[in-house]
Structure 1
Amino acid sequence: MDFDIHAPNYIFVSLIMRKISTVTHFLTIYTHKIHNIFEKKFFKGSRAFSNETQVYCAGQ
C-alpha cells in the first residue's frame, strides 16, 4: 500500500532527474562550442604558444 502511494512520485522524480541530466549534457556541449569559437576568434595561436612553453619548461 505504501509503495503504491510513493510509486508515482518516484516516477516523477526519475523523469525530472533524466531531464536535468539531458539539459546539463546539452549545456556542456553548447558551452564547449562557444569556448572553441571564442578561442579561435580571440586567441589565435594561444594554444600553440602554451604547448611550446610547456615543452620548454619540461626540457629545462
Structure 2
Amino acid sequence: MKDKQELKDEQKFYLKTCKEFEEQRDQQDCKSQEWHKYDRLAQLCKERADEIRHKLYEMGCTD
C-alpha cells in the first residue's frame, strides 16, 4: 500500500495532467474528435485524482 506522500505525489501528477489535457482540449474545435479525446482524458485524470483524495481522507490526511 502506498504511503500518504506517494498518494499526494500521485494526486498532484493527475491534477497537473488533467490541466494539461484541458489546455489541449481548449485549443481544439469543440466539435472535433480531438476535443472529445482531450476532454475524456482530462475527465479520467480528474476522477483518478478524486479517488486518491478520498483515500487520503480515509487515511486521515486532510491537507
TM-score by length of 2: 0.46
Bigger RCO of structures 1 and 2 (CA < 8 A, at least 6 apart) = 2
TM-score by length of 1: 0.48
Larger CA Rg, structure 1 vs 2: 1
- Is the helix fraction higher in 1 or 2? 1
